[in-house]
Structures are given as C-alpha cells and as structure tokens.
C-alpha cells in the first residue's frame, strides 16, 4: 500500500520557468511533510518541509503548498535553474521522530 | 562535522554471503533508519529505530537484521545475500519534527 505517491516519474521544464512537482498521500494521520533532492551517486538532501498546521512554506525559490482536504502537496521552484535537475522525493511522517514514508520520486530536467 | 557516515560505499557479494553495512551519526539523533532505493520504487524503509535498544520493521524487512546498542550506530546485517538485495542502501538519522539527514549510500551488488 503506497501511502505517499508521486504520479509523475519525470518532468521537463525550460530554464527560468516554474517547476511544479506533485505528491499525494493517503494517511490522514501524517502531520509533517518534506521534500528531498537527490543527485546521482549522492544521498538525498533536505530541501523544504511543512507542518500540517500550515498550508504554505517558502524558502527562497522553493515553496511547498499543502492541501490537507485533498491530501496533496506540491513543490514550486521559481525560477528553475539547470542545477535543479535532479530526482525529487516527497516524504511524510506522523508524530515527532516517527518513520518517514517516501514517494517514488520525480526526475526533474531543466532545459536551457 | 561528519553527519551520517556509511561504510562501505561499494560492495559485491556472492549469493549466500553475509555482510554488515555500517552507519554512524554524530548528531545525537534518537531516530535512525535504513532505506533501499530501487529504480521506480523510490526509497523504501527496511528497518528503523527510535532509540538505543529499540528497533522495528519497515516496509521491506525480510532478509535484513538490525540492532541499536548505542545512539550513534545502527548497522544493517544481511545474513544470506540474495540477488534481489542488489540495491543502493541509505542510512538516515533524524530528531523530532526535523529533516532526516542521509548518508552517501552503499551500492551493493549480489551476484
């Protein structure tokens, strides 16, 4: 049972435009959500997070939106840059330091 | 500042061999976990621990053992390696309601 789903395996965006990555979850008990970025041959690195008490969190070019009623979150990257080309994973957890459940990942390619 | 350290980085095993993947963190995080990454499958949780002496199974625990005798270390043991365990393995540590920090990964091939 895939509790966190990223339905787009890949996304291609032109440099300077907005990249929107989507993630859906099924467990309404999840209360903390994170996005990770992964380059080949490296471990995932944290990008941005959001608590279920918020519906938006911004950090520079990155914004995460949370729609609890739809059990959906999205990551917006504006403007997209070539260095943003990577695999992006969303993750969710319920309660404190409990286990993180990851989606399948979306490979983002930024074209010049 | 080492963060999360995994060893080895690469390993080739023959079917039936055993080995231990090492993971150590220096951030005093209570929560540690092991994931495997396979194409199209994302990061799947193998085992996790919420503190020294406490471990639990994740989504794909079969064929793997763990123990947590100290806060810093969380080794993952393959008792009898199988080709299906060919994967990239990541260890992570985390504190309450913060991001998880990942190691650089161990690429394991079982032939």
- Residue A5's CB is within 10 A of a number of other CB atoms, namely 15
Establish if B20 touches chain A: CB-CB under 8 angstroms: no
For residue range B55-109, what is the model confidence (pLDDT) as tens digits? 999 999 999 999 999 999 999 999 999 999 999 999 999 987 788 899 999 999 9
pLDDT surpassing 80 at residue B1:
no
Asked whether the predicted pLDDT for residue B24 surpasses 80, the reply is yes
Phi and psi, residue A101, nearest 5°: -110, 130
pLDDT digits (tens, 9 = 90+) for A3-14: 999 999 999 999
Residue A51 sits at the chain B interface (C-beta within 8 Å): yes
Interchain contact B50–A (C-beta under 8 A): yes
Tell me which residue in B4, B58, B96 faces A97 most closely, judged by beta carbons: B96
Using a pLDDT cut of 70, give the percent of chain A over it: 97
Residue A98's pLDDT band, with cuts at 50, 70 and 90, is: confident
pLDDT tens digits, B30-49 = 999 999 999 888 899 999 99
pLDDT at residue A41 tops 80: yes
Q: List CB contacts of B83: < 8 A, sequence separation 6 or more.
A: B15, B110, B111
Residues of A with CB below 8 A from B101's CB?
Answer: 46
Q: Is the pLDDT of residue A56 over 80?
A: yes
pLDDT, average across residues B14-20 = 97
Question: Over 90: is that where the pLDDT of A97 sits?
Answer: no
B31·A89 Cβ contact <8 A:
no
3-class secondary structure, B84: helix
Any CB–CB contact under 8 A between B92 and chain A? yes
Q: Which of A99, A102, A106, A107 to mutate to test the interface with B (most CBs of B within 10 A)?
A: A99
Q: Which residue has the tokens 């291609």?
A: A12
CATH architecture assignment, domain A4-107: Sandwich (2.60)
Of B30, B45, B90, the CB nearest to A99: B45
CA distance A22 to chain B (A): 15
Q: How confident is the model at residue A99 (pLDDT cuts 50, 70, 90)?
A: confident
Per CB-CB distance under 8 Å, the chain A contacts of B48 are 99
Which two three-digit tokens encode residue B78? 């393959």
- Within 10 angstroms of residue A7's Cβ, the number of other Cβ atoms is 10
Interface membership of A102 toward B (CB under 8 Å): yes
Q: Which two tokens stand for residue B110?
A: 């079982």
B33 to chain A: which residues are within 8 Å by CB? Answer: 99-100
**Residue range A60-77: average pLDDT?**
98
Burial A60-76 (b: 16+ CB within 10 A, else e): eebbbbbeeeebebbbb
Contacts of A89 in chain B (CB under 8 A): 42-43
């Amino acid at each position: 049972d895939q509790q966190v789903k990223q339905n787009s395996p890949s996304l291609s965006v032109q440099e300077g435009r907005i990249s929107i990555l989507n993630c859906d979850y099924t467990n309404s008990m999840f209360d903390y959500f994170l996005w990770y970025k992964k380059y080949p041959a490296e471990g995932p690195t944290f990008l941005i997070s959001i608590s279920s008490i918020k519906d938006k969190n911004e950090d520079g070019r990155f914004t995460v939106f949370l729609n609890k009623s739809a059990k959906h979150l999205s990551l917006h990257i504006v403007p997209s840059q070539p260095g943003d080309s990577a695999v992006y994973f969303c993750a969710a957890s319920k309660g404190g330091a409990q286990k993180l459940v990851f989606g399948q990942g979306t490979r983002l390619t930024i074209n010049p | 500042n080492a963060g999360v350290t995994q060893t080895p980085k690469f390993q080739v095993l023959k079917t039936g061999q055993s080995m231990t993947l090492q993971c150590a963190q220096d951030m005093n995080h209570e929560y540690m976990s092991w994931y495997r990454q396979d194409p199209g499958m994302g990061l799947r949780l193998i085992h996790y621990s919420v503190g020294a002496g406490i471990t639990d199974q994740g989504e794909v625990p079969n064929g793997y053992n763990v123990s947590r005798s100290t806060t810093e270390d969380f080794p993952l043991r393959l008792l009898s390696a199988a080709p299906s365990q060919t994967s990239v393995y990541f260890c992570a540590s985390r504190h309450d309601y913060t991001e998880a920090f990942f190691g650089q990964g161990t690429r394991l091939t079982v032939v």
